[in-house]
Structure 1
């Protein structure tokens, strides 16, 4: 392993000032800030994580590393709220309050292994598949399972062609997972994959939005540097968390701090899609931090709550005589109104 691969892969950490480097105990960036995995040889061969114990891990990061500038994308003038529509609609809803813009969930758009667009979407397009009117524009997101994300990566060149035919308003780059207990080498690999996919999609003529994935403050600084040396207009930032207990509350503060650092160091005219937050109170906190910056909130709570007969405005279950479709329209109108109001 050469010294330039072994150390300072993130191009942010100053290894010359690190005590581990000074006393000769540094094992490379991949071992910084995370626990070293203790898999047996059998588990190691089956594990999908890019572990520093695996032969070729550092070389793989070097191979996919994209040293070019982030390509310029568009400013989309998005509504304050973008409802995600995961299922086919059986009723004609009024989406005018969200500028006839909806989110499309990538989990159902892709095949089970993530390597292709599902046949029904290929044949009918996303509007007919979801029974959306012709004036609706879709923004597809890929906050989906790791298995599908790996399939996307492996067959991405073919997927770019398939996505182009669907004519989405915008496409958010795949949200490759950065688990806090994963080796640092896995984080760096996925960050480089995100950058590469973004630039590749721009080159293919796709209307792409960069999703900011991060695990540490160094990752935030990496994206700040990349954004500031580019002419990027729109990005996405996710607050999604898999744990709903006490850890989720701590994660919210952690993500909020990361978001605050990011927006304090990038141009004010960059538009941001916020994913994974539906709470009106938390959105108000995000808007307060964001100031005059243009942000859009994307989630599927309006639809999911309506299928349970739950009113987002009243925060309670409604009577059964009120249809789920009526509740969805109520939830849609509620979020669009609340998110547009300045905090």
Structure 2
């Protein structure tokens, strides 16, 4: 992987779910960091995937990122579907933005709703959005932003380019 010439690799994503035991949270957060450290030791430019359950977890992550001078981290936002979950994530992103400033780029995976993208952008000085939703919609004949029952006939690569253009217009015009 180090010889592949990637500019950056997002580290493995070990989830932290609320209904899981606290000990598992701690293990998975450590696994994320260890995986990133191992990749980095092999010469792979890597951004660790950051998850947290408590404010203290997030503080530890931010301290680690600062101490190791990590230039980028990834956050998976795909599972924050309810308003309560979203509020939790947004508060954490705000704290990350305050702690890490514009030195650290945050790769935020899984957002595609304009209001959530705008809110996240307001919390993080340097953020890059990743969304598989654009590709999945194209595979299923759907244009980004269309209602669930509206299908477009065309090939997936063409629909993907259209979805990407719509997404970029929405996120860049904010």
Which residue does 2:101 correspond to in 1? 267
> Rg larger in 1 or in 2?
1
Q: Is the 8 A contact 2:143 2:152 kept in 1?
A: no
Which residue does 1:188 correspond to in 2? 26
1:315 offset after TM fit, Å? 4.2
For residues 199 and 319 of structure 1, the distance between their equivalents in structure 2, rounded to whole angstroms, comes to 44
1:276 offset after TM fit, Å? 1.4
Q: Secondary structure at the match of 2:163?
A: helix
1:284 offset after TM fit, Å? 0.9
1:193 offset after TM fit, Å? 1.8
TM-score by length of 1: 0.47
Which residue does 2:74 correspond to in 1? 236
For residues 157 and 151 of structure 2, the distance between their equivalents in structure 1, rounded to whole angstroms, comes to 12
Q: Is the 8 A contact 2:108 2:130 kept in 1?
A: yes
Query: Which residue of 83, 100, 103 maps to 1:249?
Result: 83
1:165 offset after TM fit, Å? 4.6
Q: Which has the higher contact order (CA 8 A, sep 6+)?
A: 1
Report the RMSD for the aligned CA atoms in angstroms.
2.0
Q: Secondary structure at the match of 2:108?
A: strand
Which residue does 1:334 correspond to in 2? 166
Map 1:113-262; keep pairs closer than 5 Å.
Answer: 163-241=1-79, 248-262=82-96
For residues 252 and 265 of structure 1, the distance between their equivalents in structure 2, rounded to whole angstroms, comes to 20
Which residue does 1:281 correspond to in 2? 115
Q: Is the 8 A contact 2:142 2:152 kept in 1?
A: no
Deviating more after overlay: 304-313 vs 165-174: 165-174
Task: Identify unmatched segments of 5+ residues in structure 2.
Answer: none
TM-score by length of 2: 0.88
For residues 71 and 65 of structure 2, the distance between their equivalents in structure 1, rounded to whole angstroms, comes to 9
1:270-291: CA deviations, max 9, x gaps? 111001111112101111222x
Q: Is the 8 A contact 2:7 2:45 kept in 1?
A: yes
